[in-house]
Amino acid sequence: MTDLRVGLVGYGVAGAFFHAPLIATTPGLRLSAVVTGDPGRAAEVNGKYGARAVGRADELLDSSDLIVVASPNRTHVPLAEAALKAGLPVVVDKPLAATAEEARGLVRLARERGLMLTVFQNRRWDGDFLTVRRLVSAGELGEVTRLESRFERWRPVPKGGWREVGGADEVAGLLYDLGSHLVDQALRLLGPAVDVYAESDVRRPGVNADDDTFIALSHAGGARSHLWVSAVTPRLGPRFRVLGSRAGYVKHGLDVQEEQLRAGLTPESPGFGEEPPERWGTLGAGDDRRVVPTERGSYARFYREVAACLLDGAPPPVDPEQAVEALAVLEAARRSVAERRVVTL
């Protein structure tokens, strides 16, 4: 069977370190063309993947079977809309859109055209999150009462770029960047949120978008999520602290896959996604606790499930309706910050 030709829009961090290597190692998919205006990046995509470089996204539409949108956030909706109208399935990097209403419009369009639309929520396949889901499903924690989840970094000197200096029209800042992942994980683990409270600040000179944000969710089932995203944390908290009626799970350090991808490894590399024992978390209550091996992370599953969806009719890896749900929470968080109150969904 001929591989599906994948057109990738964007070859920045997301395109170069995540999408391109994952697509290139997925059976049934072939990275055929990449949109980039940078000559060095153009040479790289050709030499590394045998893909051609083009200057505009519309140049992909007649020669692709799947479009992947990994360009700046403000472009996600128009690019996805153009691809769907051209009759092509689409993968969009998170966030799917700036608002839940814009996302609903894309979902309606995809449904009307009978096309796959899915969102690259790769952090669902972080090894630590897979471990949390396994522990919760197995009843090891009892009834979960609180999820504490963090993406914290110490970057006192800004890197620049639209994610830091852009405004609301750029959909910039950590709330919609890493916050998209934390909210998605919380909803998948604990179910729908019923109200949202948030605090958000810009801490570094020269930065215009939020770089230090906290989100609190109350879930319909009674549990609470406390979520932190920050670039200004000199002492990092645990990546996960999940508390239940029987036990708690505590895990430090980020999933290894991003670090491995940035180092040039791929899902085909030995040990990819495997975390060393010294980084494993612990489970227990009081003084009674044990080390829990971290599940092997698998970002590759996302694109394997994309291929299965397009070739075999399987469900997409991420239901776009779930992206709409997460965006509604992010919008409520932004409103909570502006109005200094708890927002009911």
pLDDT tens, residue by residue, 119-145: 999 999 999 999 999 999 999 999 999
191 and 54 in one domain? no
Domain harbouring 213, CATH code: 3.30.360.10
Domain residues for the domain of 288 are: 123-299+328-344
Q: Sheet with 240-244: list strands edge to edge.
A: 288-292, 281-285, 248-251, 240-244, 144-152, 224-230, 212-219, 193-201, 343-344
- Distance separating alpha carbons of residues 3 and 12, to the nearest angstrom: 25
Q: Are 47 and 21 a contacting pair, CB within 8 Å?
A: no
Question: Count of domains in the chain?
Answer: 2
110 and 36 in one domain? yes
**In-domain check, residue 312:** no
pLDDT band at residue 2 using 50, 70 and 90 as cut-offs: confident
Write out pLDDT tens, residues 82-124.
999 999 999 999 999 999 999 999 999 999 999 999 999 999 9
> Which residues, 6+ apart, have CB-to-CB distance to 123 below 8 Å?
129, 181, 184, 185, 255
The pLDDT value recorded for residue 327 is 98
Rounded mean pLDDT, 318-343: 98
Write out pLDDT tens, residues 271-305.
999 999 999 999 999 999 999 999 999 999 999 99
**In-domain check, residue 112:** yes
**In-domain check, residue 287:** yes
Q: Is the pLDDT of residue 25 over 70?
A: yes
- Residue finishing a domain among 76, 97, 120: 120
44 and 131 in one domain? no
pTM of the model: 0.96
Question: What mean pLDDT value characterizes the chain?
Answer: 97
55 and 40 in one domain? yes
277 and 150 in one domain? yes
- Residue finishing a domain among 66, 87, 120: 120
Rounded mean pLDDT, 318-330: 98
The pLDDT value recorded for residue 191 is 98
177 and 127 in one domain? yes
277 and 253 in one domain? yes
**In-domain check, residue 185:** yes
**In-domain check, residue 152:** yes
Count CB atoms within 10 A of the CB of residue 54: 19
The pLDDT value recorded for residue 1 is 61
Write out pLDDT tens, residues 203-233.
999 999 999 999 999 999 999 999 999 999 9
141 and 112 in one domain? no
154 and 61 in one domain? no
% the chain with pLDDT above 90: 98
**In-domain check, residue 289:** yes
